[in-house]
Structure 1
Amino acid sequence: MAQCLRLPRETMGILIQIGFLAAAAFRVVNGQKGFVSIDCGMDAGGSITDNITGIVYQPDTQFIDTGINYEIPKSYLTPYSLPQLGTLRSFPDGVRNCYTINQVNQGEKYLIRAFFMYGNYDGQDSASIGSPLQFDLHLGVNYWRTLNITDPFSVNPVEIITVAKDDYFSVCLVKTGSGTPFISSLELRLIDSVDLYTDVNQSNSLVSAFARVNFGGGPGLIR
């Protein structure tokens, strides 16, 4: 039998406040204030627009000068695939390759989101359960996350909410001996509210453990 979770009135009030904060943050998102949206592997001079959000993604050439551009084979994409996942940048050379994002206000709070879709771009069938494709993601000198990719069709998002200690962020892909690092998309979002994610400060960041899940907010993605 399904059971309902009854919340105290005080908790409901907090949830309503969070809803208002999220709506305010969404208005900022639509205006793209404090946004950097990067389509990794896109040819220089191009751009792509997400038809749902209206967000414009730019090439990654001004943020990094290493790596090789690839396109994902069409057979691995669907009509519902995020448009910025059609290309990626791969890093066969060097142990550590870093993106530098300069449009940052020191002391401000940011969400940094990266997407990884293998799509068998190299024709090597490198991602499987028995032989996963693994590499590390660092934010500056600090370890962020290990990517463990076992399915060429899967989209692997990772997020961190952090305070900028400098006027730039350095997002680095680091080899661990289990395949070639790559990245599909990289996003920077200014969190323009002191009331959101109050646990995040100069010493503490929040890292997504699994995924964001939509409970009852309607079908489709909420961005």
Structure 2
Amino acid sequence: MFSWIDLVLFSGFWVFGFSNPDGFLSLSCGGSSYTTAYNISWVSDNDYIETGNTSTVTFMEENSTSSVPIRFFPDSRGRQCYKLPVKKKDLSSVLIRAKFVYRNYDSQNSPPAFHVSLGRRITTTVDLRTNDPWIEELVWPVNEDSLMLCLLAVKGRGIP
């Protein structure tokens, strides 16, 4: 059995979500708690990470303007990690979906590259020069009551 984890990440910023009906968790990275029109409850990420700064980014997507809260990590030394709770009852794996978007949030015209790790294992390298947005889906085995999801800067390629 597996649980669904859906996360939306804005490069260097986390707009990070886990879907929440029955065992799902949706995190509003850098933002406050709210409920969508589809009855998905998003909670602030403050209880899941101890680092990073928060702000808001505005961008165009599919003929409309979106403004979203963000969390970014200006200190590129080391891993920036979320500690995510896992309900182990009848769970052997989780599904994680991540969407990384740059959209020149920092006005530097320099899309970053960074590694994504689950636990201590790097699972993918995101390079937003190649694709913006970048979407990743991972099925990951769980055997503890929490999972560390981390971003790690690629030297010379900006901050996650």
* TM-score computed with the length of structure 2 as normaliser: 0.74
Give the one of 63, 66, 69 matched to 2:48: 63
Unmatched tracts of structure 1, length 5 or more: 1-24, 128-132, 182-223
Give the one of 66, 72, 82 matched to 1:90: 72
| Aligned equivalent of 2:144 | 166
Q: Secondary structure at the match of 2:97?
A: strand
**Distance of aligned partners of 1:141 and 1:72 in 2 relative to their CA distance in 1, 3 Å threshold:** same
| Aligned equivalent of 1:135 | 114
Unmatched tracts of structure 2, length 5 or more: 5-18
| Aligned equivalent of 1:147 | 126
**Distance of aligned partners of 1:77 and 1:39 in 2 relative to their CA distance in 1, 3 Å threshold:** farther
Distance 2:35 2:63 in 1: 14
**Higher normalized strand content (fraction of residues):** 2
Whether the aligned pair in 1 keeps the contact of 2:86 and 2:144 (CA below 8 Å) is: no
Structure 1 residue 49, shift from structure 2 partner:
3.3
Structure 1 residue 92, shift from structure 2 partner:
1.6
Whether the aligned pair in 1 keeps the contact of 2:20 and 2:26 (CA below 8 Å) is: no
Structure 1 residue 173, shift from structure 2 partner:
0.4
Distance 2:125 2:141 in 1: 21
* TM-score computed with the length of structure 1 as normaliser: 0.55
Structure 1 residue 106, shift from structure 2 partner:
6.5
- Report percent identity of matched pairs: 29
| Aligned equivalent of 1:37 | 26
Paired residue type of 2:54: N
**Distance of aligned partners of 1:116 and 1:48 in 2 relative to their CA distance in 1, 3 Å threshold:** farther
Which is greater in Rg? 1
Q: Secondary structure at the match of 2:46?
A: coil
Give the one of 98, 110, 116 matched to 1:114: 98
Structure 1 residue 107, shift from structure 2 partner:
6.4
The superposition leaves residues 75-100 of structure 1 with CA deviations (integer Å, 9 ceiling, x where unpaired) of x234777x7x7122111213211000
Count of aligned residue pairs for this structure pair: 140
The superposition leaves residues 22-41 of structure 1 with CA deviations (integer Å, 9 ceiling, x where unpaired) of xxx9xxxx970110111212
Distance 1:158 1:48 in 2: 25
Distance 1:50 1:156 in 2: 23
Whether the aligned pair in 2 keeps the contact of 1:136 and 1:144 (CA below 8 Å) is: yes
Paired residue type of 1:59: S
**Higher normalized helix content (fraction of residues):** 1
